[in-house]
Amino acid sequence: DTHTLELSSAASDVYKRQSASKQAFCANFASEAEYDSGLRGQFEYRDLGISEATGGQYHAGVMRVRDEAKGDQQLGHTGMHRHLCDFQMFYVLKGWCKMEYEGQGEMTFHEGDCCLQPAAIAHNELLCSEDFECIEIYSPAKHETVPTD
């Protein structure tokens, strides 16, 4: 007995678009994780390899407070700003963070919480716990950040 999979027209279109984007297989193992410094000094960042695998269409990474940074972290020094990207979200793996959003006010996110930050929404990172860790996903991988003040 042979089974044939027939894709709907919409599914076929998605498959063609994804194939045309030349995405590569990517696996990133925690046992081989490397963290680097980045935009904010009290954080370290782990690139999950998605940027390279998607030709810059997407980025996924883990951001966490450095071991050397003790106590809850006062952030906010970036001020209100916007990322000129098409998509941005984060998921809290550990700890908590307090954010401020244009039109939404201040919000505190805890382990297991997720936030979709609509394209170009003005926001500011205010505080986080010393054990804060999250996954960030955005598109495109490289985009401009502009202050709103």
CA 105/CA 99 separation, integer angstroms: 8
pLDDT value at residue 64: 94
Q: What is the pLDDT of residue 1?
A: 41
* Residue 32 confidence (pLDDT): 95
pTM given for the model: 0.82
pLDDT at 99: 95
Query: Residue 126 is encoded by which pair of tokens?
Result: 């205010």
Encode pLDDT of 23-62 as tens digits: 999 999 999 999 998 776 788 999 999 999 999 999 999 9
Residues of the chain with pLDDT under 50: 1-4
